[in-house]
Structure 1
């Protein structure tokens, strides 16, 4: 799957499920942690989405802030884990 498609799907999920359909213009570099978009509860929901939608289990050692700083970083993590 192309990285741009993954980013778009992540942005759509975040806008619809985490931001309750907000019209915020999410970009690949939107700072999810800095802006408080992702908190611990939303992180659990996001990890479940990644597992169901992208069929990827993120190992505990990869669950670090740098991996979830923005949609681009999450897309990179998904691609890394699916290409193993």
Structure 2
């Protein structure tokens, strides 16, 4: 999974499943934890979705706030775990 694919997939999930509306697009650098978009429960749900839908397992030691602070951070993590180098 490339970073761009990960950004699109995570944004789509957060907007449609977590927020229930795709009307307003979440910016890749929006502070998801600070804004309450990701909570402990929605983070676990997102991780489950990623593993089920894309076959990417996120190790427990990588489930830290800095990896889930923004869509960009999550996308970098997913690109790295799927073997595709993250692009800056």
Shared fold (TM-score, shorter chain, > 0.5): yes
RMSD over aligned Cα, in angstroms? Answer: 1.5
Corresponding residue pairs, total: 84
Distance in 2 separating the partners of 1:80 and 1:3: 9
Distance in 2 separating the partners of 1:5 and 1:82: 11
Distance in 1 separating the partners of 2:2 and 2:61: 24
- Give the aligned partner of residue 12 of structure 2: 12
Runs of 4+ in 1 over 2 A off after TM superposition: none
Using CA pairs under 8 Å that are at least 6 residues apart, name the structure with larger relative contact order, 1 or 2: 2
Could you tell me which runs of 5 or more consecutive residues in structure 1 were left unpaired when the two chains were aligned.
Answer: none
Deviating more after overlay: 49-58 vs 10-19: 49-58
Question: How is 1:1-40 mapped onto 2 (pairs within 5 angstroms)?
Answer: 1-40=1-40
Distance in 2 separating the partners of 1:22 and 1:5: 17
Q: CA deviation at 1:43?
A: 0.9
